[in-house]
Amino acid sequence: MFAGVRQFNHWVDVQMAPPDKILGLSELYVKDPNPKKVNLGVGAYRDEEGKPWILPSVKEAERKLVVEGLEKDKEYVPILGSGPYNSAVQKFIFGHDEFGKKLIAEKRIVSAQTISGTGSLRVIAELLNKFYSVKKCYMSAPTWPNHLNVFRDAGVEPAAYPYYDLDTNSLDIENLLATLNKAEKGALILLHSSCHNPTGLDATSEQWDQILEVITKRELFPIVDMAYQGFATGDPIKDLGIVIHKMTKMHYENPEKLPSFALCQSFAKNMGLYGERTGSVFLVHESPEFISKITSQLKALVRPMYSSPPCHGSKIVEVILNDEKLYKSWLGDVAKITNRLNEVRSGLYDNLDHSLRNWDHLKRQKGMFSYTGLSKDEMLKLRSDFSIYGTDDGRFSLAGISNRNVKYVAEAVNAVVKK
């Protein structure tokens, strides 16, 4: 031993952890010297110049916070977040239909500010592991890889339900329903509200009705992940209509069929508040007394975990949601993002060689991602021969494509498919 080095070592079997599949791609992209390189891995919006975009509405909200003195201090917020923030977001999510308004009025929703979408998922997973009898959660195959990590590390066993049919590039609705029909009664089920990650393929309204019918039949507990609200239709409120309004209506009219459900929400994407880590978790239940108990347990859970959430992002959200003019400006910003993503999707589709492969599924997908149908070998070929970095499962983050490189990306895809 070297002089001065302590000989006591109680660390046990520490190995190198595997790199994050998506963030690892970004590291490879940064090191690549090819001037034509394209990053299609990370799920963060980029403008036409390939740069991060601070929404004009967010800039104006921050100006108001500073210049008009709306941000008076940097004190800790309460354990479950800012009261004005929770009230504003609850109204924003549930205040657009009669059933949601009734749930708010009857105090049947617990709302808590969290550390963005990942934080809300972890909080609800920890809560359910502690107080819910069934410790298994069904997730779509495929799903966002971190879903598996979040629930597994919280003590909840992940299980899979079929979602995407690679042979037809469509929703595998028959096998999805068949699997859920065999699920343990009372099991948890994780749903994507819109712009499914990674496929970009959402269930239709009729298919959602079928899914919810099986959920109520098997008494499953739905957890809805809403990370891309607004990117499906260009309107955050319209995006609520497919699943959130359906579930709210079902719960209010037939609480015996759907006694409760949870919603995990994030402003990372639709307000561009990635680094501010601003989101919410909601739990809806028929009993206000039960909601009071859950609220107390959420406080007890969060306090030793991270004590309280960040304050700056929540203040930005408060300003935007409570200022009519700024709110309309933000809706315009979301529409602009969605329009660009739709233009990129159309541009990629138009430049692909349709004699080599059927690409019609690209037009059916929505949001930031496209599940191309490319194989792992084809994705590796894109990476090695063309410096185009997408995930091995064939997912493209469309935000990395622009008018400047869309032909290059399409021609590269044509080349690897042709081989």
Phi, psi of 226, rounded to the nearest 5 degrees: -120, 85
Q: How do 136-141 and 109-115 pair as beta strands? A: unpaired
**Selected catalytic residue, list 144, 202, 330, 366:** 144
Give the pair of three-digit tokens for residue 304. 């030793």
- The dihedral built from the CA positions of residue 351, 354, 357 and 362, taken in this order, carries a sign that is positive
The Cα 78–Cα 368 span in angstroms is: 33
Determine whether 153 is an active site residue: no
**Which amino acid is it at 198?**
P
Q: SS3 for 351?
A: helix
> How many H helices and E strands in the chain?
16, 13
Calpha distance 330→325 (Å, rounded): 9
Is 172 in the active site? Answer: no
Q: At what angle do helices 145-153 and 116-131 cross, to 10 degrees?
A: 40
Would you say 352 and 360 are in contact if contact means Cβ atoms under 8 Å apart? no
- 376 has catalytic annotation: no
- The DSSP 8-state label assigned to residue 200 in this structure reads -
Tracing tokens 């994407």 back to the chain, one arrives at 269
180 burial class (0-12, 13-18, 19+ CB within 10 angstroms)?
Answer: buried
Catalytic residue among 64, 172, 202, 269: 269
CA distances from 242 to 46, 50, 206 (A): 27, 31, 10
- Strand runs (DSSP E) across 109-254, as ranges? 109-115, 136-141, 157-162, 164-165, 170-171, 188-192, 221-226
Q: Which residues contact 316 (CB under 8 A, 6 or more apart)?
A: 58, 61, 62, 65, 271, 273, 276, 278
**Residue of 172, 202, 225, 393 marked active site:** 225
Q: What is the DSSP string of 125-162?
A: HHHHHHH-S--EEEEEES--HHHHHHHHHTT-EEEEEE
Q: Which residues are catalytic?
A: 144, 225, 269
